[in-house]
Amino acid sequence: MLNPVTETISIIIPVLNEAHQLSKILHILQQALDVEIIVIDGGSQDQTLEIAKRAGVKIIQSPIGRAHQMNAGVADATGDILLFLHADTRLPRDFDLTIRDTLSQSTVIAGAFRLKIDAPGWKLRVIEWGVNARSRYLQMPYGDQAIFLKTTTFQALGGFPNLPIMEDFELVRQLKRQGRIAIASTAVITSGRRWQKLGAVRTTLINQCVILAYLLGVSPDRVAQWYRSGMKRLRK
C-alpha cells in the first residue's frame, strides 16, 4: 500500500453553467496538498470556463451528462484517489487528509462526507438528519456528498454506468458489494437552491419517487424524463 501522505487526489468536477458556484469552491481546493483539479464542461454558456482557466485547473470538454463528464475526467486523471465533487458543494477544511486517512483503512472500499445544506429552515435540518442517517447505517451516500475512492477500485468497476440519471446511486450499490463505504465525521456544504426553489417536501418527494421507480426496474431514460418534466412543472 502506498503511504497515504504521498497519494495524489484527482478532484473531478462536472459543470454546466456553474460560474457562480465554481468560483466559490476552487480557492478551497487549491489549498490542499497533492491534488489535481479537473473541470469537465458539458457546454456552459456563462463564465464557467473563464473562471476555470483563470484558476489554472485542467479543463475537459465532454457531452452533457454527469456520467459522461465524470468518466471523461477520470480518463485524463493521474491521481491515486478520485474525488467526485458537484460544483455547488464545498468541501470541509483538511478534506484531503480526511480522504487519505479514510481510505487507508483496510476494510474501506470508498467514502463520502456528511451532508449540510446551505439554507435555513427546520425542514432542511430534518432532511440533513435523514441523509446522514441513511449514509451511516445503510452505507448509501449520494453524489452531493463528495464520493471518493481509489482509482484502481473505480477502474475495476468499469467507471460510472452510462445512465442519464442515478449514476451515483448505481456506483454506490456496486461498491457496497466490494467493501465498507465510510462516512467522514466532517460535512460538505451543498447549495440549498434545489430545496429553496421547489420546497423541501416536494423536492424530497420527487427524489424518493425517482429512486423507487429505478429500483422497480423502470427504464433510466424514462425515469430521467419523468424527473425533468416534474421539475419543470414545479418551477412554473
Tell me the average pLDDT across 201-228: 88
Tell me the pLDDT band of 6, cut-offs 50, 70 and 90.
confident
Length of the chain: 236
Whether the per-residue pLDDT at 79 is higher than 90: the answer is yes
Whether the per-residue pLDDT at 144 is higher than 90: the answer is yes
Tell me the average pLDDT across 166-180: 95
Domains assigned to the chain: 4-191 (3.90.550.10), 194-236 (no CATH)
Please give the residue that has the higher pLDDT: either 232 or 168.
Answer: 168
Tell me the pLDDT band of 4, cut-offs 50, 70 and 90.
very low
- What was the pLDDT predicted at 1? 43
Residue range 87-137, pLDDT digits in tens: 999 999 999 999 999 999 999 999 999 999 999 999 999 999 999 999 999
- What was the pLDDT predicted at 129? 96
In the predicted model, what is the mean pLDDT of the chain?
91
Tell me the pLDDT band of 2, cut-offs 50, 70 and 90.
very low
Tell me the average pLDDT across 159-185: 95
> Which of 70, 67, 53 has the alpha carbon at shortest distance from 10?
70
- What was the pLDDT predicted at 173? 95
Please tell me the distance from the alpha carbon of residue 180 to that of residue 171, in angstroms, as a whole number: 13
Tell me the average pLDDT across 135-142: 95
